[in-house]
Amino acid sequence: MVVLHVKRGDDSKFLLSASVVDPIEEVLGRTIMIYNGCLKIHRICFGIEYLAEHGYALPPEMHGLTEDQIADLKLSDEHEGRCIPSGGYEVNKDPYGRRCGQQPVEKMRDVLLKTVQEAKAIISEEQVKSNTPLTSNHVYDALDMLKGAVTIVYPMGLPAHDPIREELENREDLSGTHGAKMILDAGTTQLWFAGKKMLCGKKLSDYVGKNEKSKVVVKLQRHGEGPPGREPSLTQDQRNALMAHEYKRREELKWLEACDDDSYLDSTWADRKHLHRAFQGLDCISWKPH
């Protein structure tokens, strides 16, 4: 299987296994699905970290309002007293006024935060360093883990308007958010390899050759973004090693320049005629008057 090192711009994302006979459109579809799945996991993880601190989300019409404003507008949270986390809660007001302020107890917070760490580890860029390809099953496993943790802490379920529940039920509306700009669509996205656009209708072997044991770098680009920047000839580690070697060389040259002292030439051991005079008995003769 060919290993594709998928990048978005200069950012390394994940490894993907494919066969050289796979059509480009099939490879592109799998790549985009995993890429968008990783984005979803990161959004859910961010929401769960917020959930562990300040509880479930308030209704949208109550966001950012003070208690007095809520009372004046006669708004109410119909889920208050119903969405209680397991083990009870502690009061921790949300400074942004988007969540109810009912923080789960420490044991339940640990369940949420530990699961977040495990889910992030599954899709971490560290998997690239360990040469572990990412598959759709990894994405589904991470989503199932997050859903299970939320169910453990909130057995009665989160409110339907909570962003975490919307994400888990694929009802999220990201329009007007930064997250919407990051999502890729198969109809407007293309793969690039070695400065060439990988066209749908062709096979992977048309670009990377027929060696199933190769590893190549491909980049995701939207239509109209132009060709991505070429890969640098040296990796970051190689550049760091080269800079360290150059710094060491310059320090050695400075030291040699500082040590450019020829006073040793006045020493006896540096006199080429010393041995000759010693044999003739002239070594200890002084021509100075006593």
What band does 256 get if pLDDT is binned at 50, 70 and 90?
confident
- For residues 140 and 217, membership in a common domain is answered with yes
Tally of domains in the chain:
2
- For residues 190 and 240, membership in a common domain is answered with no
- For residues 115 and 245, membership in a common domain is answered with no
Mean pLDDT of the chain: 87
What band does 242 get if pLDDT is binned at 50, 70 and 90?
confident
Tell me the pLDDT tens digit for each residue of 155-196: 999 999 999 999 999 999 888 888 888 999 988 999 999 888
- For residues 40 and 122, membership in a common domain is answered with yes
273 pLDDT more than 60: yes
Kindly report the number of other CB atoms within 10 A of residue 190's CB atom: 18
> What span, in angstroms and rounded, lies between the C-alpha atoms of 209 and 202?
12
> What span, in angstroms and rounded, lies between the C-alpha atoms of 15 and 33?
13
- For residues 59 and 21, membership in a common domain is answered with yes
Residue 230 lies in a domain: no
Residue 228 lies in a domain: no
261 pLDDT more than 90: no
Tell me the pLDDT tens digit for each residue of 97-141: 899 899 999 999 999 999 999 999 999 988 998 999 999 999 999
Residue 288 lies in a domain: no
- For residues 110 and 16, membership in a common domain is answered with yes
- For residues 89 and 183, membership in a common domain is answered with yes
Q: What are the respective helix, strand and coil percentages of the chain, to the nearest 5? A: 45, 15, 40
- For residues 16 and 135, membership in a common domain is answered with yes
Closest residue by Cα to residue 169 from 178, 179, 157, 181 = 157
Higher-pLDDT residue of 121 and 65 is: 121
> What span, in angstroms and rounded, lies between the C-alpha atoms of 157 and 51?
13
51 in Cβ contact with 151 (< 8 Å): no
> What span, in angstroms and rounded, lies between the C-alpha atoms of 205 and 142?
32
pLDDT for the residue 67: 79
> Looking at 222, 251, 269, which one is the last position of a domain?
222
> What span, in angstroms and rounded, lies between the C-alpha atoms of 191 and 34?
14
Torsion on CA atoms 245, 249, 255, 259, rounded to nearest 10 = 150
198 in Cβ contact with 220 (< 8 Å): no
- For residues 177 and 115, membership in a common domain is answered with yes
* Boundaries of domain holding 262: 236-279
Mean pLDDT of 146-150: 96
46 pLDDT more than 90: yes
pLDDT for the residue 7: 92
Residue 231 lies in a domain: no
> Looking at 222, 245, 270, which one is the last position of a domain?
222
Mean pLDDT of 200-212: 89
Backbone angles phi, psi at 27, to 5 degrees: -65, -40
287 pLDDT more than 60: no
- For residues 51 and 146, membership in a common domain is answered with yes
- For residues 113 and 243, membership in a common domain is answered with no
**Per-residue CA distances from 20 to 3, 46, 200, 215 (Å):** 10, 37, 14, 11
87 in Cβ contact with 72 (< 8 Å): no
Residue 162 lies in a domain: yes
Residue 7 lies in a domain: yes
- For residues 273 and 173, membership in a common domain is answered with no
Residue 257 lies in a domain: yes
Residue 271 lies in a domain: yes
> Looking at 179, 198, 222, which one is the last position of a domain?
222
Helix (H, G, I), strand (E, B), or coil: what is residue 5? Answer: strand
> What span, in angstroms and rounded, lies between the C-alpha atoms of 62 and 98?
7
